[in-house]
Amino acid sequence: MIGKDLSLAIRLLNAGELVAIPTETVYGLAANGLDPLSVSKIFAAKNRPYFDPLILHLDSTVHLLELVDEMPHYAERLAEHFWPGPLTMLLPKSQLVPDLVTAGSPLVAVRVPNHPLTLELLKALSFPLAAPSANPFGYISPTRAEHVEAQLGDKISYILDGGPSEIGLESTIVDCSGDEPVVKRLGGITIDALSNCLGFEPKVDIQSHSNPSSPGLLDQHYAPRKPLYLVEDIEAFCQAHSGKSILYLSFGANTCPESVYEMNLSPKGDLIEAASHLFHYMRALDSHSGDCIVAKRLPDNGLGKAINDRLYRAAHK
Ligand code: TXA
Ligand code: MG
C-alpha cells in the first residue's frame, strides 16, 4: 500500500515490519537497524544475499557515536558539510550494530538522508533504519513509490510516498576507516565536491570486477531485463542490428533513426537532470515493447561519472 501516513509507518517499524521510505537518492527498504530479526526481513524481501551489507540511516549525528567506535577528523568534516545528503561513510562499528547489518564486516555504513518526510520519520524512532535500495536484488533502483509498488508491493507492509527522488542516483560511499578517505562507490556527490570539502582529492577505489564483498559493485547490477548496450554511435548500431526494435536512452542534442523509440535523459545536456531521470527512464524503456535498450555514454565529468558507472553495470556483458 502506498501513502503518506507517517504514524502508520512509525507503528509498523516499531513492530519490526518493513516500510519503503523516500530519500533524495533512491527509495529505501527500511527496517529497525538494531534488530536482527527485522533486518533479516529486508534480505528475504529483496532476495538479497546475506553477504551484502546495509546502510544505517540516521536523522542527525546526535546518536552517531553510539553506532561507530571512532571517527577521524576528515569524516567529521565530511559529515558537517554533506549531511543531510547523498554521502555514506564507512566507519568502525560499535557493538550495538548487529553483524547482519554489516555482513560480518568491522565497518558500518552510515548516512543522514536529505528528505523531509524520512527525516521526520527517523526523528520519531528510537533506532536507525537499515535500508538498501528498494528493488529486487540486481534490478534498477526505484526513484518513485510506484517503482517500489510494482516490484515489492506484495512483500512490504507500507510504502511511504515522498514523491520522485530528487537526485536519482545512490549515495557516494566513502571509506573513512583509515588515515585517508577512499571513495568506494560513485554517487550523488561528485569527486570534485568531495575534493573541495577535504582540500585534496580523495583516492578512488572502485572495483569493476565481480566482487562478492560489495555486490553494488558487481559487474552486472542495476540491470533492466532487456539487454542494454552502451554505444558511442547509435546509427552504426542500428545499421548492424537492422531487424531489431531498438529503444534509445539518449542525452543532449542528438539525432537517431526515426524507427528508434527514444527517451532523452536531458535534451539540454544537463547531468543533474540526467541523473534524476536515469532509473525512471531505464524502467520505462524496460517495460516498453522492443528488443533491446541502447544507451549513450555521457560526458565523464561531474555526475556523468556516476551515471556512466551505472550504465556500465546495467550493460549486457
Ligand atoms: O543512496 C543510497 O545509498 C540508498 C538509499 C536508500 O540510502 N541505499 C543504497 O543501498 O543504495 P544499497 O544497499 O542498495 O547499496 C549500498 C552499498 C552496497 O553495495 C553495500 O555492499 C555497500 O553499500 N555497503 C554497505 N555497508 C557496507 C560495509 N559495511 N562495508 C562495505 N560496503 C558496504
Ligand atoms: Mg542497491
Residues carrying CATH 3.40.50.11030, the chain: 228-314
- CATH topology for the 228-314 domain: Rossmann fold (3.40.50)
Question: Ligand 2 center to residue 231 CA distance, Å?
Answer: 24
Relative to the alpha carbon of 99, which ligand is closest?
1
Q: Of 293, 296, 277, which Cα lies nearest the Cα of 285?
A: 293
- Out of 26, 50, 51, 55, mutate this one to test ligand 1's pocket (max ligand atoms within 8 Å of CB): namely 55
- The helix/strand/coil state of 121 is helix
- Reported as a single tens digit per residue, the pLDDT across 69-115 is 999 999 999 999 999 999 999 999 999 999 999 999 999 999 999 99
Residues carrying CATH 3.90.870.10, the chain: 2-204
In this predicted structure, what is the pLDDT of residue 216? Answer: 59
Cα–Cα distance list, 104 to 53, 268, 298 (Å)? 8, 45, 37
Read off the pTM.
0.95
The residue type found at 97 is V
- Reported as a single tens digit per residue, the pLDDT across 22-50 is 999 999 999 999 999 999 999 999 999 99
Indicate whether 222 pLDDT > 90: no
Among the four given CATH numbers 3.40.50.2300, 3.30.450.20, 3.90.870.10, 3.40.50.11900, the one describing domain 2-204:
3.90.870.10
Average pLDDT, rounded, for the chain = 94
In this predicted structure, what is the pLDDT of residue 214? Answer: 56
- Reported as a single tens digit per residue, the pLDDT across 277-308 is 999 999 999 999 999 999 999 999 999 999 99
Higher pLDDT, 15 or 255: 15
In this predicted structure, what is the pLDDT of residue 208? Answer: 61
Relative to the alpha carbon of 85, which ligand is closest?
1
In this predicted structure, what is the pLDDT of residue 46? Answer: 93
- Residue 316 · residue 220 · CB < 8 Å: no
State the alpha helices, DSSP H only, in 47-182: 64-67, 73-82, 99-102, 116-124, 145-152
- The DSSP code for 241 is T
- Reported as a single tens digit per residue, the pLDDT across 304-313 is 999 999 999 9
Question: Ligand 1 center to residue 72 CA distance, Å?
Answer: 21
Question: Ligand 1 center to residue 287 CA distance, Å?
Answer: 26
Indicate whether 268 pLDDT > 80: yes
Best mean pLDDT range from 107-111, 220-224, 230-234? 107-111
226: part of which helix (H) or strand (E)? Answer: none
Cα 1 to Cα 17: distance, rounded to the nearest angstrom: 13
